[in-house]
Structure 1
Amino acid sequence: MDDEDLHLLPRTRAADLLEWAAEEGLEAVPEPAVRTVLTLLELGGARMHDGFPELTSPVLEHLLYEQLHLYVQPDGDARAYPAAVRLLIEWQRAARRLNAKRLAKLREETDWQGEVLVDSLLLRSDLLTWPRLYTLLLRADGVPVEDLDRVRGWLEEFRALDVEDRFAAYGQVPGVEPDGGWGPERALLVGVSTDGARRLLEQGLMRRSYRNLAELTARGLPMPDELAGEFEEFEEAVAQAAIDLCGEWTVPGLARLLLEEFPELAPEVY
């Protein structure tokens, strides 16, 4: 096990995959999308081989149909995510990890499930989470999202609005299909989805750390700092890492702002 794998967060081989793809003349895919796909696959429980997640039909369905729409709000073409999956499929083919039947099946499933993700799941208002929703609102208002102070200032102004005005803004946000469903019940649903999505990340991070711990123990090696403290400290480290990942896939720092400074704008109480 490489030293990089002793850390809490996955250290993906996105750069290696993209370098290989370029050498093979395959379609270029944005690195953030590749890194996100590899991270979610690993945290979702995919088996790892040579530092890459192993794709199977259930793993693929979990990623494209159940995971990605909870976390990502791409500032660009969402088809980059299925394209990243295709690169991984071709890598496994080249590494002789897939026979012809499995290769054809994974390619077909990626095509149609990728279409469902891009043309349906990412556009549904009822499947939004708070970080995704506020990412859309910030971009629509032209806020420079790389400037966290500007993001905070916009959130302060938005907090000053009446609740009904905020619901109206949610219902008109570009980037998703309006369905007229915004109100207290929809806010509750979004809060539950947001909390659940973050907890799923926490579970994946914990599983990854436990696997590392078991291997370290078997080899008689000391635990890394992230695993060596009190369990409460470990839980807190996992929770903070999950928050950071949610921000990385939307607007860096936004998920933390909503949780810590603007909870009334993104309630998760139920």
Structure 2
Amino acid sequence: MTRTTSLNTGLDDFLAWAAAREGAPALPERPADAVLCLLALRGADRRAGVPEPTPELVARVLGEDLPGLLWATAPETDAVPQVLYALADRVHQAGRLNAKRHLRLLEAVDAAVPAFRQAMADPARLTWHRWYASLLRADGVDPDDPSAVTAWLGGYAAAPTRAVRRCPRRSAGQRCPAGPSPPAPASPSCSSPPSPGTPARTRRGRCCPRRRSPTRGLTMRSARPWRPWPTP
């Protein structure tokens, strides 16, 4: 995920506040921006100046959103719980959480982190978003530069098939994420005008082939359910 400013999540103020805390490690920008952005998209309240997490939102962001959208290095993955801990402390300091709700929120983060780590490391949960993001950064392309990303995509699409790197899920014997399927061809409509070569009886109204009933012409004896012959 690239940094976004359209949601006004208060990222800069939050990172500055986290860096000013005594004894607290500095938070990396990418995981912090991803967490704040996804919480805001989930409809989190922002009266504290940042999207306010709740136990329900934490479970959905860690269990559903981040494993499908965020490609992160090992240090960035380890920093995601720290971002949520700091975010809970920030909301608590702003007076939006009492001590009991603050503790409940921290416990919700602790409960959701193991499944989050497992999902991030599971090849079966790999999506096209994370796969292409990993290839992009492996080639040293700046994801915040649209022209660089466009040039990289063009070169990747023009590469020979043997030179294209395989999806890790395919290497592990699993099915890769399915891309968009082409739309099915539209069937001819009965309201469309007949072609010049159409027979006259078809032009009079029978423009669509009549479907024959599967039971038409069957007697009561032949319409009985089929039963296999007994084996000796």
Q: Deviations over 1:37-67 (max 9, x none)?
A: 1111010121221332222111111111111
Q: Shift in Å at residue 138 of structure 1?
A: 4.5
SS at match of 1:92: helix
CA distance in structure 1 between the aligned counterparts of 2:68 and 2:131, rounded to whole angstroms: 11
2-side partners of 1:122 and 1:86: how far apart? 19
Q: Which moved more, 1:25-34 or 1:63-72?
A: 25-34
Decide which moves more: 126-135 or 9-18. Answer: 126-135
CA–CA separation in structure 2 for the residues paired with 1:101 and 1:172: 43
How do 1:171-190 residues align onto structure 2 when only pairs under 5 Å count? 171=168, 179-182=172-175, 186=176, 190=177
Counterpart AA for 2:158? E
* Structure 2 CA distance for partners of 1:17 and 1:138, relative to 1, 3 Å: closer
2:82 matched residue in structure 1:
83
2: CA distance between counterparts of 1:111 and 1:27? Answer: 19
Q: Does 1:112 align with 2:107?
A: no
Q: Greater RCO between the two (CA within 8 Å, min separation 6)?
A: 1
Cα pair distance change 1:31/1:137, threshold 3 Å: closer
Deviations 1:235-255, CA, capped at 9 Å, x for gaps: xxxxxxxxxxxxxxxxxxxxx
> Could you tell me how far apart the structure 2 residues matched to 1:123 and 1:268 are?
24
What letter matches 1:144 in structure 2? G
Unaligned runs of 5+ in 1: 1-7, 192-266
Assess, with a 3 A threshold, how the Cα gap between structure 1 residues 154 and 71 changes in structure 2: closer, same or farther. same
Give me the identity figure in percent.
28
Contact 2:14 2:50 in 1 (8 A): no
SS in structure 1 opposite 2:44?
Answer: coil
Secondary structure of 2:166's aligned partner: helix
Query: Measured at CA, do residues 48 and 99 of structure 1 come closer, stay the same or move farther in structure 2, by a change above 3 Å?
Result: same
Deviations 1:212-260 (A, max 9, x none): xxxxxxxxxxxxxxxxxxxxxxxxxxxxxxxxxxxxxxxxxxxxxxxxx
For 1:169 and 1:23, locate their aligned partners in 2 and report how far apart those are by CA, in whole Å: 44
Provide the rounded CA distance (Å) in 2 between the counterparts of 1:125 and 1:101: 38
Residue in structure 1 matched with residue 20 of structure 2 by the alignment: 23
1:132 Cα deviation (Å)? 1.0
Cα contact 2:71–2:130 (8 A) shared by 1: yes
Partner of 2:161: 161
Q: RMSD of aligned C-alpha atoms? A: 2.7
Contact 1:41 1:63 in 2 (8 A): yes
Higher Cα Rg, which structure:
2
CA distance in 1, matches of 2:81, 2:96: 19
Matched, 1:170 2:157: no
Counterpart of 1:93, as a letter, is: H
Counterpart CA distance in 2 for 1:32 and 1:170 is: 24
- Give aligned pairs, total: 171
Question: Cα offset for 1:151?
Answer: 4.5
Distance 1:131 1:56 in 2: 26
Tell me the amino acid that sits aligned with residue 106 of structure 1.
Answer: L
In the TM superposition, what whole-angstrom CA distance separates every residue of 1:161-211 from its partner, at most 9, and x where no partner exists? 17xx96x811378xxxx64113xxx4xxx23xxxxxxxxxxxxxxxxxxxx
CA contact (8 A) 2:126 2:169 kept: no
Q: CA deviation at 1:76?
A: 4.8
1: CA distance, partners of 2:169 / 2:92: 44
Normalized against structure 1, the TM-score is what? 0.56
**Partner residue of 1:194?**
none
Aligned twin of 1:10:
7
Question: Which residue of 1 is the match for residue 96 of structure 2?
Answer: 97
* Whole-Å separation in 2 of the counterparts to 1:172 and 1:43: 29
**CA deviations over 1:117-141 (Å, ceiling 9, x no partner):** 12x11122222221211233445xx
State the alpha-carbon separation in 1 of the partners of residues 161 and 86 from structure 2: 45
CA distance in 2, matches of 1:179, 1:113: 26
Relative to structure 1, the CA distance from residue 172 to residue 44 in structure 2 (aligned partners, 3 Å threshold; closer, same or farther) is closer
